[in-house]
Amino acid sequence: MCYPYSLIKYELRYFTQFVKKNQTITLKNWNFMSQNQNQLHQQQSLKVIAQYLKDISFENPGMGPLSRIQGKAPEININVHVNAHKNTEMSGNFHVDIHLKAVSKIKEVPLFILETTYTGIFEITGFEPELEEQIVNIQCPALLFPFLRRIVGEKTVDGGYPPLYLDPIDFHAIYLQKIQHESLEENNAGSSSSVFN
C-alpha cells in the first residue's frame, strides 16, 4: 500500500514534534534506568581474597624399578573433587578447595602417587542464591585451576618424571555429578542436604 507524500511528511513532522516534546521525560527515564543498572552491577562482585597450597603429598616408589620398565607408557588415573563452604564468621565469604589425586603406574608397578589440595577464599556479593552456588562450585575452581596445574607439573618434575600437565577440567560436570550424588543421598536417607558442605 502506498501513501501520499504529503501525508508521510505530515506524519514525520508530527512524530518529530512528539519526540522533542517528550525528550526530557524520556532522558530522565533512561538516566534513571541506567543508574539502577549501574547500581546492580556495582553490587554484584566476585573477589579473590586469598589463594594458597593447603596440602600436598608425593610418594615416589617407582624410581627404583623404573629402570626395568623403560619404554613403556605409564597409566595415570586422576580424581578431582571440589569442596565449597561458607565462612559463617564473614558474610559473603567462601572457602573453595580443589582436591586432586594422581596415581601413575605401569601394569602393576606403581610409579608415583600425588595428592594435593589447593584453596581459595572468595568474597561473593549481590547474586541470587542459585547463581551464587554455581559461581562457588564452577567459576571459583576454574580460577584456581591454573595454579594447581602448575604445582602438579613442577612436583612431578621434582620427583624425576616428565611434567604432568593436567588437561582442562570441566567443573560444571563435576558440579552436576555432585548434585546428582547428593540427590540420591537425600532420596535414600529421606533428609535434605546442601551443595555447600
* DSSP-derived 3-state class of residue 48: strand
Q: Angle at CA 189, nearest 5°, toward 187 and 195?
A: 70
Report all structural domains of the chain as residue ranges with CATH numbers, in order of start.
43-182 (3.10.420.10)
Minimum mean pLDDT among 28-42, 48-62, 107-121: which range?
28-42
Which class for 130: exposed (0-12), middle (13-18), buried (19 or more C-beta within 10 A)?
Answer: exposed
Tens-place pLDDT, residues 153-169: 999 999 988 899 999 99
Q: In the prediction, which pLDDT does 143 show?
A: 97
**22 strand-pairing partners:** none
Query: Bridge partners of 194?
Result: none
Radius of gyration of the chain (CA): 28
45, 94 Cβ separation under 8 angstroms? no
DSSP alpha helix (H) spans, the chain: 5-21, 23-43, 129-134, 140-158, 171-189
Tell me which of 11-25, 49-63, 134-148 is least confident.
11-25
CA distance 97 to 84: 6
Predicted local distance difference test score (pLDDT) of residue 39: 53
Q: 72 φ, ψ to 5°?
A: -105, 135
Query: What whole-number distance in Å separates Cα of residue 157 and Cα of residue 171?
Result: 26
Q: What is the pLDDT of residue 107?
A: 81
CA distance 27 to 30: 5
Q: What pLDDT, on the 0 to 100 scale, is given for residue 55?
A: 97
Query: How does strand 75-86 pair with strand 109-125?
Result: unpaired
Asked if the model's pLDDT at residue 105 lies above 70, the reply is: yes
What's residue 100's pLDDT? 98
> How many whole angstroms separate alpha carbon 27 and alpha carbon 9?
26
Q: What is the pLDDT of residue 144?
A: 97
Put simply, whether the predicted model's pTM sits higher than 0.85 gets the answer no
* DSSP conformation class of 190: T
For residues 77-88, give the mean pLDDT. Answer: 91
pLDDT band, very low/low/confident/very high, at 38 (cuts 50, 70, 90) = low
